[in-house]
Amino acid sequence: MTLHATLDAGRLVLTQGRLTLREQLPAESALLADGKPGGLTWIDGVPGDGTMSAASMTVAAAAAGVYRPGWGLFAIQRTQDLTALGGVGFHGPPDRGAVEIGYDLCVSARGGGWATDAARAVCQWALSQPEVVVVLATTEPGNAPSQAVLERVGFERVANRGDLWSYELTTMPV
């Protein structure tokens, strides 16, 4: 399925079938970090803990002057009604060819393949950027659902990073 990348009011929007990923700029991320809806309609009323944490990372990057548009948090939305289901994004801009992703779904959105679709879309977009050669991800050893997401996207498990299992993706499976 084709991934469409557009700009909407200065934010990157990635659309692929049922999925829309809408970049959350630092101002919206500040609201999400505080557990507020940030102008979005959330399936469970508010963003999940992981999305709030990721929003805090975007706010911190902006405060430190290292925020780069396109390399932060995206709201995971259903294309049909733009209901926000969770968050996906990057831990920061590319560094020596590598970016790291993370994702989080609201409780009511789990089990429907949304995290897999969102992770696949951000990886596809990232690997199409000339400064990215590898996408990284980590999970806690007991987080089987997250590990399954990474495996479905095509990540391969590599050496552990401390207490976390590490994964890498260098090409998108056909």
Q: Where are the domains of the chain?
A: 4-169
Helices 114-127 and 144-153 meet at what angle, rounded to 10? 50
- Classify 126 as helix, strand or coil: helix
Of 129, 131, 130, 121, the C-alpha closest to 153 is 121
Q: 19: which 2 tokens?
A: 């999925």
How do the pLDDT tens digits run along the chain, 174 residues long? 899 999 999 999 999 999 999 999 999 999 999 999 999 999 999 999 999 999 999 999 999 999 999 999 999 999 999 999 999 999 999 999 999 999 999 999 999 999 999 999 999 999 999 999 999 999 999 999 999 999 999 999 998 999 999 999 999 987
Architecture of domain 4-169: 3-Layer(aba) Sandwich (3.40)
> What pLDDT is stored for residue 1 in this prediction?
81
Enclosing H/E stretch for 48: none
